[in-house]
Amino acid sequence: MNKELLESIAAELRAGRAVELSVEDFPCFSAQALAGNAHISPDDLGKLAAALTAADAPVFERAARAMNEGDLAWLGFKIVWDAAAAQANTDNEVTKKYGDVGSADGQGAVFFCNDAKEIVSARTPSPRDVFQMKDVTRGPSMHNEQFEGLTWLSVPLFDQVRVWLLGASDAAAEVSALAAHVGFAVTAVDYDPAYLSPERFPDATRVLLEGSNFDGLASLTPAPGDYVCVLTRGHMFDPDSCVWAVRHGVHYVGMMGCKGKNSTVHDLVIARGATEEQWERIKRPIGLKFGAKTPAELAIAIVAELVDVRYRQRYSAEAQTKHDASLGR
């Protein structure tokens, strides 16, 4: 998301001019994101944009300010495909009780919502609307298809966490697909183009190292908030990868491998100048503990851990406790 774009949209609306919203800027409306959903299409973004007025300018202004402040926030969209059904969505026997009013009206809307659940909208939402506004902004972006007649989309106003996959192993290919699916930005690194191919890593930024080793890692620089998964083929370049990750002080680094192999890697990592404290920062073995064995199963364990790390990084202990309590954990 682009802060300047949001400010420009707000200025145009305040000046009484029509605005255009593009799928490139709001990818939750892309054909890929909406694949299989017969109720909505990319055209709905244009219809929503055509209905915006000066009253909607504060939504975009608040979104721009959130980006400037580094707030964990989202720009949300209410899409109505059956106005009567949307307004008839009242309480049932299972969901939380919100009264006898369904959606506030049969019109689409753009709104702002942050993790503190501050909502900015041109029109006053109903209690059930508020529930869905909060629900659709629980993650990087999720669709909300809980009730008939309408749906909710969102785009995050914060950057994706970047995951570096060091090694184009089979497990790395599986991790790449799953990590991208749950909202990570993925960079895959290897020296062999046969393994680091578009077919194996279609959703990743691919970095092909020169030569037949990982010496080229020295030319790459991760950000402090990045995550690193050491998954090199045959574990040959695990030591180089671990040293690179800990020297750059990334937020998370994990390495595939068994206890015996890890002892060997330990000695090589220390010999390359890393400290024992840095070695202890490496999660070994990478991934949550359950009976994962195949590359696809290992990817589930690894990405589940990445999701958990991201959750704990972004949300305070108080917010985590509240979330767990709401789920009855």
72-128 pLDDT, tens digit each? 899 999 999 999 999 987 777 777 777 777 888 889 999 999 987 899 999 999 988
Q: Any idea what DSSP says for residue 75?
A: E
Q: Specify the 3-state DSSP secondary structure of 44.
A: helix
pLDDT-based confidence at 140, cuts 50/70/90?
A: very low
Mean pLDDT of 207-226: 96
- DSSP assignment of 230-260: E--GGGTTHHHHHHHHHHTT-SEEEE---HH
Mean pLDDT of 256-261: 79
Least confident of 10-19, 63-72, 125-134, 219-228: 125-134
- Total residues belonging to the chain: 329
Q: Which of 81, 74, 80 is nearest to 27 (CA)?
A: 74
Give the Cα separation of 116 and 98 in Å (integer). 20
Report the percent of the chain where pLDDT is more than 70.
96
Instruction: Give pLDDT, residue 65.
Output: 96
Mean pLDDT of 238-249: 97
| Pairing status of strand 109-114 against strand 119-121 | antiparallel
Give the Cα separation of 24 and 221 in Å (integer). 27
Mean model confidence pLDDT for the chain: 91
**pLDDT over 90 (residue 64):** yes
Instruction: Give pLDDT, residue 141.
Output: 47
Q: Where are the beta strands (DSSP E) in the chain?
A: 73-80, 109-114, 119-121, 150-156, 162-166, 185-190, 205-208, 227-230, 252-255, 282-283
**pLDDT over 70 (residue 143):** no
- DSSP assignment of 4-24: HHHHHHHHHHHTT------TT
**pLDDT over 70 (residue 157):** yes
Give the Cα separation of 122 and 141 in Å (integer). 21
Q: Any idea what DSSP says for residue 192?
A: -
Write down the pTM of the prediction.
0.84
**pLDDT over 80 (residue 273):** yes
Give the Cα separation of 266 and 242 in Å (integer). 9
Instruction: Give pLDDT, residue 200.
Output: 98
Question: Which is higher by pLDDT, 137 or 116?
Answer: 116
**pLDDT over 50 (residue 67):** yes
Residue 287 buriedness (CB in 10 A; 0-12 / 13-18 / 19+): buried
Intervals of CATH 3.40.50.720 along the chain: 162-314
Joined together, the tokens standing for residue 78 give 């209410």
Q: Which of 242, 313, 311 is nearest to 281 (CA)?
A: 242
pLDDT-based confidence at 294, cuts 50/70/90?
A: very high
Residue pair 285/255 in contact by the 8 Å Cβ criterion: yes
162-314: which CATH topology?
Answer: Rossmann fold (3.40.50)
8-58 pLDDT, tens digit each? 999 999 999 999 999 999 999 999 888 888 899 999 999 999 999 999 999
Question: Which is higher by pLDDT, 187 or 291?
Answer: 187
**pLDDT over 60 (residue 326):** yes
Instruction: Give pLDDT, residue 36.
Output: 85
Q: Specify the 3-state DSSP secondary structure of 151.
A: strand
Spacing of C-alpha 32 from chain mean position: 16
**pLDDT over 60 (residue 317):** yes
Highest mean pLDDT among 80-89, 184-193, 257-266: 184-193
Instruction: Give pLDDT, residue 179.
Output: 97
Please confirm whether the linkage preceding 239 is cis (ω < 30° from 0).
Answer: no
